[in-house]
Each structure stands twice: as structure tokens, then as C-alpha cells.
Structure 1
Amino acid sequence: MIPSSPLLPELEAGLIALGLPPRPLAQRLLDYLALLSRWNRTYNLTAVRDEREMLSRHLLDSLAMWRFLRPGRLADLGTGPGLPGIPLALARPELEVSLVESNGKKARFLREAVRRLGLVNARVLEARAEAVEEPGAYPQITARALDSLAGILTVGGHLLAPEGRLLAMKGQRPDAEIAALPPDWRVEAIEPLTVPGLPGERHLVIVGRRPPQPA
């Protein structure tokens, strides 16, 4: 616990700007941040070292997409130290988040974070996304820094239900990636995101299966 963290007011203001209730969410996010920072000193889970920078680049950036998620199952592919999956699981308890990560040290951290935070709506799958044998089990998958849109669908598209959606977090609008989508997939929406304290462009690209053409 961080009973009087100097980051608390800044995080609460960021959550309010995103339309999220700051309490008790801010303190739970800071508990996660403290655990991540502690493990990061030994296991190098993220290149970002400064906790204030983590607040905007990791916590608030992960939560910027919260409005576009539907209740139910969500697979976070290549989640690393739990981004965006753990902040989203904390903010949206109606989600059932599968944290998919093949790196052993990151998976160990994820299991500890889930245990320490009491995240009953999250589980860890230590595997590569393409090796997860749950075809069609997810109405939504996400990935924050895994691959191109086509690459994400190549390794994780099998996890999506027939009407499922990929919600991919990107920086600048990825027009080249969109043009390279496989023919069975189409962009349903491109949502500009504003992340408190983070300059630069952010976009959420929502991709679904293309409806079959009538004979």
C-alpha cells in the first residue's frame, strides 16, 4: 500500500479526465504501480523506470480505451507486465480478463500481481497467443504493443468469437496497417484517444470480421 503517495492527486485527476471514478480505483492502481516498480528493479519488466512516467504512459494510457469495452471476456495478448489488462480489470470488474504472456519472468509477475491485488476477474495464461487453445472463446481481444494489425490477427484471431472484435491500441493513425489487413477483416471504427499527461497521438482501432458476401 502507498497511504500518502504524492502521485495520488495526479492519478485521481487523470481518472476524472477519462471519466472514471477516482476512488477507490486510484489507490488500487498505485498498489499495482508499486509492485511493478519493485519487480522492475530486478526483472526489467518495462523500460520505463520513473513512477510518474509510468502513471501516464502505462496506467492512464491503458485506461484510455475503457469506454469501448463490452462486459464479458477479454484476452490481452502479449500483455507484458499486465498492460492494458490489469488496469482494465481493476477499472471494469465486469470484465473477465485473460492475461496472455509467454515470457516466464513476466508471467510470474502477473501471477503475483493478480494474487496481491485480489483480482478475481483476471487470470494468467503463460503461452504465446497462437498457442492458446480457446478458439472462438472471446468476444474481444486487445493488444497494446504486440504487432501490426495483421500480425495480431494472425496470432490471435482464432480466439475471437464470430462477432468478436480486436481493439488495438496504436499511436498515429495506422493507415498502412489498415491497408494490409487480411481480406476477411475490416476496420469498424478508429477512435482518437486523449491520455492525460501524455503528448502525441493515440488511436484505438476496432477490427471485426467482414460479413460474408451474398452468393
Structure 2
Amino acid sequence: MTTGADTRNGSSDLDLERFQDLCQAVEIGLTPTVIKGLVAYRDLMRAWNGRVRLVSRSNGSRILERHVYESLLLARFLPASATRLVDIGTGGGLPGIPLKIFRPDLQVVLLDSARMKTLFLREVIRTMSLKGIEVVHDRAERVVSSIGATFDLATSRAVATLDRVWAFAQPLLRADGSMLSLKGPGEAEKELSGAGLDFKEHVFESKYRRVSVVCIKQPQ
């Protein structure tokens, strides 16, 4: 399904076309409103990437295809009942902002310690008029006392090893909460060996690369 076009130069938007094809292959339904929001976010990332390293320069033309697509893989595992999500080490808003655009009912907290990246996140929220989303400029280990165990879900992507991210996430989660993380295939078993945690790993493969969604639930 390739319906997007970049009309600025009269040329096709290959990033959008490939992104839509990838989402269709894993049955992630994209409404016109969601597509519009994701493209607007992509364009803001491109505009800021020269000042703040949000993604690698080599991936600047593939933000939807590479970064947003992988973020939306987590949407397949979001419980319909979930209401609050914290994105730990969100960087440029991945995966938190794509998930917010896809699930506007979620209350989202974007947590990062890099000042310039949090300035970008606030600009995204302002420019796109996003509601129910907050930016916290701090380290995860320092916000537990102020935020508390109030979240249904924690998310992470390219932050640290899973055992370390879980140590940050667990105090922020409700008793029945869980963490969803993006990793390379096989990394979860290596990073969680000896941690005594039950986890599930779901591997997704496209013609571009393989990626895993790792789910860890609060011990009962």
C-alpha cells in the first residue's frame, strides 16, 4: 500500500511508501490522521537533526521506514486498557511520540536527561498541538520519588542493557505493569541472563533488518 507522496518536489516520498508497506506487512493499521501526524513528526526530526543528533545522518532519509516503523511494532503489544506510558531515555521521542500519535488516548511521559533533546520534544508537542503528553528533563533513577509507580507501561529503545532499563522502569510501574523494549534478536537472552526475569521476545523480520520486541512483566 503506497499512498504517500512528497508534493514539495513533485517526487514520491520513498520513506513514507516503504514505511506503509512495512506496516501493512505486520497488520499495523494506519489511518490518514495517523499518517499525517507521523509525517509531521518525521519532518520536524529532519529539520532539527542538524542541530541535535536525533538519529544518525545516514538514517535521516529513512526516519519513518527505520525508526517510526520499529516504534510502532510496540503498538501490537499495548493492552487496550493501558492509559499511562513512560518512555525511558526517549531521545528524539522514540518510541513514545509515534505511540502517542497511534494511540492518542494514552497519557505519555517522555523522560530524557539530554537538555537539547527535551527542547526538541517540547517543540514537537507545541507545533503538533499534542495533548496528554509531558516531557521530563531528568534521569530515570531520580524521578521515582516525584512520579511514583503510576504507569501501566514503560518503553525503551537503544538506551542500555535490558537489566539496567528494567531497574529504572520497575519502580515506575504499577503492580500489573510491564515494559516493552526494542532490541536486536537474541540480545534479550544475553542481557537478562542471571536476572531471574520472565520475558517474551517477538522477532520481526523485513527486507531491511530484524528487530525484537521484548516484554517483561512485573513479577507477581
| TM-score computed with the length of structure 1 as normaliser | 0.87
In the alignment, which of 61, 64, 77 is matched to residue 52 of structure 1?
61
How far, CA to CA, are the matches of 1:13 and 1:44 in structure 2? 27
Residue number in structure 1 paired with 2:184: 171
Q: How does 1:120-139 map to 2 (within 5 A)?
A: 120-132=131-143, 133-139=146-152
C-alpha displacement at 1:13, in angstroms? 2.9
Structure 2 match to 1:93:
104
Identify which of 79, 82, 85 aligns with 1:74.
85
Aligned-residue offset at 1:204: 1.2
- Assess if the C-alpha contact under 8 Å between 2:88 and 2:112 holds in 1: yes
| Matched residue, 1:161 | 174
Tell me whether 1:9 sits opposite 2:31 in the alignment.
no
Structure 1 residues 176 and 66, CA gap change in structure 2 (3 angstroms): same
Q: 1:72, 1:95 within 8 Å by CA — same for their partners in 2?
A: yes
- In the superposition, the TM-score normalised over structure 2's length comes to 0.85
Unpaired runs of 5+ residues, structure 1, are none
1:3 positional shift: 6.3
The one-character-per-residue Cα deviations of 1:110-157 (angstroms, maximum 9, x if unpaired) are 000011112113211111111112221111101111111110122222
Q: Which 5+ residue runs of structure 2 have no aligned equivalent? A: none
Q: Tell me if the contact between 2:73 and 2:213 (Cα under 8 Å) persists in the aligned partners.
A: no
Q: Which residue of 2 aligns with 1:198?
A: 208
Task: Indicate if the aligned counterparts of 2:18 and 2:65 stay in contact, CA closer than 8 A.
Answer: no
| Structure-2 separation of matches of 1:128 and 1:161 | 19
Give the letter for the 2:46 counterpart. Answer: S
Identical residues among aligned pairs (%): 29
Measure, in 2, the Cα distance between the counterparts of 1:13 and 1:210: 37
In the TM superposition, what whole-angstrom CA distance separates every residue of 1:54-110 from its partner, at most 9, and x where no partner exists? 222211111111110123101000000000001110011121111001100000000
Alignment CA distance shift 1:58-1:107 (3 Å):
same
Report deviation, 1:50: 4.3
